[in-house]
Structure 1
Amino acid sequence: MTALEFGYRLNSLRVFLKPYAYRLTRDNDEANDLLQETVLKAFSNREKFSEGTNIKAWLYTIMKNTFITNYQKKVRQKTFVDKTDNDHYINSSKHTIENGAYGNFKMKDIKRSIKKLDDNYKIPFMMHYKGYKYYEIAEHLNVPIGTVKNRIHLARKELKEMLQVYRTV
């Protein structure tokens, strides 16, 4: 197959490759870049394509592998390892370490506030907090799903008022 024929086949298959590129990247510009890079790699490696095999599958494989390689490069670029000595931070007052006591106080206050809630609000709120879905809570309490949503909303609202001391500006 000549380079011209191969280029024509590649161009005719771009229509099928574009949606796959978009599915991988979830961004139109990145999908266009991936498509262009795939076509370029396929064309520059056209001698590796075996005549009579499925060219579309070959192109999909190139695209998938290119996407994975690019993704791995991005992950490596975002990884930063600092190997310098940070001894100058030891006596710095800007950098403090919290011991978690403040968080413990918050948690105790939150639990105390939840205990103060009326059972009609506390039970659905705690079930939702533990991971139950609205419909599961509604079935368990034998109330409509709208009632469950309303009670959870009111419990959050009441807790927000009780814990206003922790509100950040």
Structure 2
Amino acid sequence: MIQEDFEQHVVKLQNALLGFAKSLTHNEDEAKDLLQETSLKALSNKAMYDDSGSIKSWLYTIMRNLFLNCRRHSSRQESLPTDFEIPDTDDMQGGIEGEDSFSTIDVQRIMDLLSIDNRILFGLYLQGYRYDEIADRLQMPLGTVKVRIYRIKQELRTYKKQLV
């Protein structure tokens, strides 16, 4: 395929690609950004396209891969939200200390000790996602999510006992 034909095909498919981007991101602005990144990547790597397949499928694959890579990258960068507050033991009313009470620093230390997969999983749990939502989002069985969160909580309790 000559260069002009390739570029024309990419331009003609912009509306279809935008629709696909919206279905992935569920956000108009993110969809437009994803479309732009996809078009840029396709045009800069047009030599990698072979005429044997559909250009539309090739572009959809690029878009999907960009979307997944972006989500993975942002998941790895997630940490505790700044507005998430866990009461410090000094702030507990009447001096009663709950079994699962930790300072934000304690939680951050234990999060740093977790594997990246467990950090993402427990981060979602701390943000208020339900077990089934976490399972869907991470494409894991529900039972696995429950067991891993239970084990992380046990690890937190063990860490808390070491601090006292």
TM-score of the aligned structures, taking structure 2 as reference length: 0.49
Which structure's CA Rg is the greater one? 1
